[in-house]
Structure 1
Amino acid sequence: MVFRNFSIFMLSLLAFASNVAAQNGFFLRGSVVDTTGASIPHVAVSVETLSGALVKATTSGAEGDFELLSLTTGDFRISIPATPPFAGSQETLHLSHSVSNHRIVLKIESVDQAVTVGEEESLSTEASSNRDTVSVSGDDLRKLPVFDQDYIATMTPFLDGSSGSSGGVTLIVDGVEMKSVAVSPSAIQEVRINNDPYSAEFTRPGRGRIEIITKPGSPEFHAELNFTVRNAVFNAKNYFSAVRPPESRRIYEGHLSGPFGRGGHTNFIVSGSRREQDTAAVVNATGPNGVVNQNVLTPNRNMGFTGRINHDFSPTHRLSIGYNFENSGSTNAGVGGIVLAEAGYNLNYREDDLILNDRIIVTPNLINQLQVTLEKDEDNTRSVTQAQSIQVNGEFVGGGAQADAHRTENTIHINEIVTWSHGRHYVRAGVQLPQFSRRAVDDHTNRLGTFKFSSLGSYSGNTPYVFTAQQGPGRGLYWINEFGSFVQDQIKLSPRVQLVLGLRYDWQTFLPDNNNLAPRISLAYAPDKGKTVLRLGTGIFYDRTGGDFPATVKLHNGSVLHSIQIQNPDFPIAPGTNFSAVPTNLARFDSRVRTPYALQYSLGLERQVHKNATVTISYRGQVQTKSFRSRDANAPILPVNPDLTATYARPDPNYGQIQQIESRGRTELNALDISFRGQAGRVFSGQAQYTLSRFYGNTGGINWFPQDQYDAGSEWARADMDRRHRLNLIGNINPDHWLSLGVNATLYSGTPYTETTGNDDFHTGLGNARPAGVGRNTLQGGGVASLDLLYSHDFRLTKATGDHARLLSAGASAFNVLNRTNFTNYIGALSSSFFHQPTAALAGRQLQFAVGYRF
């Protein structure tokens, strides 16, 4: 009875809210930006009837945002007059619902296109208007459940690992490739994935990069302050933890922007954040004395600050100077699963960036933008325990981490882009230095040595299958330089056909080939008036060595580090033993190594299924050749029936293991993508994406070794990142109402893992041998399912609306609401008591609370 009365009460409230909304009409909120994504403030925005009668008018605010209230259902025209150097814009729209994020891009030539607006514009043939783009504005992020305000992690599931590089996901911040975003979450204007997938401007395809656009400065004062907190008292217990892991997190974050000095030509924006995270890792291992199950404290601190000053020398010339600072420290990193507390390490990291951005509008048809970033990084790693490392396959990792190292990096990033439009052509061309980097490393890893055992039995019997150690000065100085250039022409062949032709060139140190030309082409055709768009495209994308891998080759050259490997050694070996008589290991590039490249191709159909909803269905294929892998070029040549306890000689007795980096691998991807973007009635507004894919290959990356060093080609199997099914959804349930919920849902099938014997059957010291007849990645891990929800509400502190409103916000987020156990770290070693079992799990249900103030 109580539930029935409560239901009637809730329905009455919803009906009342809907009636009020109907009486007050719809609103249209959005922003005005240029082609670089920079906001355009103080331009007139008006809504007119198709006959020209004015309905509503406003002016874009300091950050290019605008708001029009009390609009009714119908056909209208939204107009912006010419604002030199930008031409005017007119768009025809059909309004049927309130719109919270309508983006108007002003180009340096006139734009006249039909647009239908509900939550979405009508379809366009422009390359950057593909509807399977995942785009989230800063306002959208406030309405989504974002764990620890980490919006990069929230958006990452929409990426595709097959489209990434050897260095991982490519991060583009304000058009420039960077290692981190630096600015705090509230200073983000927009996050995009798969925007113009075949753009020649970037090294990776659309699903292999995240593009971040930060907020510009403002001629009026605006600020936002947020405080986020989580505590273990509100968390569910981790599956592998006997006692709920202790946890307390506090995040302070915000930004301030406004005018600087007099004259109205200079403004600034500063942002900062501090994260205090007292977390714990769950250890679930089997040691010589039985099961080890404990919570290990892993506290970390992170602090960041950014500042930028923008000055307009004239209406056509803007100069920006910025500074970024980040400092972080982590304790007991690496602990968890089968890694014991004693095998952890402590991390300290600092980054300083100085950024100069100069934009000049040379003529109404020509824009030049130059950005130069000076970056300095320092990274320290220290082992928690100074002891030899003990690794028992699939059971436990103990002793010391043997991870001590100190790294510094001084890098210049340069991005010079010219944009020119003429008639039907819109041309962009540029020169880029993603990295011009001098690096130094003091490598003191594995100085005491590491013993590896195949099982607990061999550990109890003091019979490791390999011992490794390093000696020598360990200091290396080297340069990592990368160069890129591109030209792209977007041609409007007709009102319904748009062709994009692009050509890119990439070069990097350590790889000898200089002919890395990457042509790209895409075509969009609209057979009807804005309801359907057919897109097809293809292009070549070159890979890189990734991260700091060249340091491996520089250090392991036989002189900087004397790295040794002893098979079937005695146990123990006294720390500090001199190994100068033992042949050294080497790491080198194969003389025939070349830059890997991927050929991607796709065919997609976009269809506007409703005035405010679009569905996209596309096929995506990719073939990467010359993929990186490693091989022991000095592996023992075994007899037909080798003795597992024997030690076999290497072909060249002067050296131990020779890690030879080759580019002879291959991967293939076939994927079907189905995307929804828009509003499903009054129930849901947002974006959803389902992918059915097959990702195969014969390499696991640049540091991956085959089991048989003389038969690497037989490793063809499911790739490590292969997932058959992936479903991601972000948006709002019951949007634009007081009872609206932000939602983030993921549903994945599992990735594969490899069954191994646990022994070193090939006598290489790698311990990656499989049972006879068993291929790579034949075992299947468990899937992942998670539902995150946010309820938040803005309390208006003044009667002002839009750009001048003062708001107090409060919200509560629940992550993994259903408290589903999502297992990770499956063990494939037959010699392990954990064989075919997971040793870790993602967090259970967690609650997060936040309050904020903005004006």
Structure 2
Amino acid sequence: MLKKFGLRAVMVLIGVGVFAAVSAQVSTVGTISGTVRDPKGAAVPKAEVVIQQEGTGVSRTVNADDNGFYLATSLPFGRYTISTAPRGFKKTVAEAVDLHVAENKVVNLDLQVGQVSETVTVSSDAAPVETRSGEISSLISEKQVTELPLNGRNYAQLALMVPGVSPVTQAGAGGAFGTNGTGLDSHVDMSVNGNQSNANMWTVDGVNNMDVGSNATLLIFPSIDSIQEFRVERNSFSAEYGQAQGAVINLITKGGSNQFHGAAFEFLRRDKLNATDFFLNRAGQPKSQLKYNNYGFNFSGPIKKNRIFFFWNEEWRREQRGVVLSSKVPTAAERVGDFSGALTDSLPHDPFTGLPFPGNKIPQANLSPAGLAILQMFPLPNTTGSTNWVSSLLEPIKTRQDSIRGDINITSKMNLLVKYTNETWTHGSAAGNFWGDSPFPTLA
């Protein structure tokens, strides 16, 4: 018997960001601020500061206040170049300023006296102390997501690197984190600062990604190759992050840029080099099969430079994995009512007298034709002992994830994010022990 479980999850996100006044329910953007100062450290008021995203070429211009302080809010994540050129000073440029999700970046611009035609390049402060809020969070970067080993390509496992995060071991493949990496039988059971595992909120591009039915797994497990980064907000986060007593795991997917990029991958495994399971070998059964193929590609670039960008990601997984099961099944003698050799205290009794049948043998006239037909569904014993049957049954898993993201820069102060993700998942479960379903037809 092979039970099938299927899931189709669709996530559609349309977001409009009006940078000057509107912020999303969950922050997917960041802030760059700082002070423009002359060589003596005095503030330079009303200086014009240009902030340009290197990948897309989109720029924002802000003016410093009377104290030389400038602020640019609701900036998309990415690498920026910040420049200013007040009259009487050399042009000052801060290059390669990386802005991450929900980050408040401080970049001070120290000017030098000279001609505007001259340029001074400065570097931003490395990991400055957060002074604008008491929020405690940790960033998992793109490099960590793509290069650290993950069992089943489940990105959620990386959250265990964050202080205060610990796994909550529960039933299921992979313990606290499912190794399937997708579907409802993959899970994210982790405790943050001692809170319950279902007290966390997981988001993708600002949208709630929790399965509201179980509150224990995610609707979408984004493909590893489509993840830009994610941040674990674990204490003192602002009111925009509701619903979470434990932590907010805020994931941002990749977007396109002015350059075309593409990549393809495949991971495959076979059972040729695997050892045979001890119990299968003793029962003379062949070793478990394993055919694992996980492959996909992504492609991104501009539709219109400096204006419209796309990122397209596809991923498939085809898996045939043998699962070793052992149990007790009726012997050939028991199938015709002969329980004289049964190794159990639970022997058949005459329903009319309540007494055991003579010799523990049920008369042929008392056997039910329907019961005999049902017995044909049970496999025959293939080993000795009270657990007299062992075998490897195939559990086929098929998944496909389609993900398309579009970014449109309407003006320097407004952009449009459109995101579509469709994930289909089928898992043929031989054991059938999925959220309370009846097990494979054997005897307890």
Higher Cα radius of gyration:
2
Larger RCO (CA within 8 A; separation ≥ 6): 2
TM-score, with length taken from structure 2 = 0.48
Q: What is the TM-score when the length of structure 1 is the normalising length?
A: 0.27
Higher relative strand content: 1
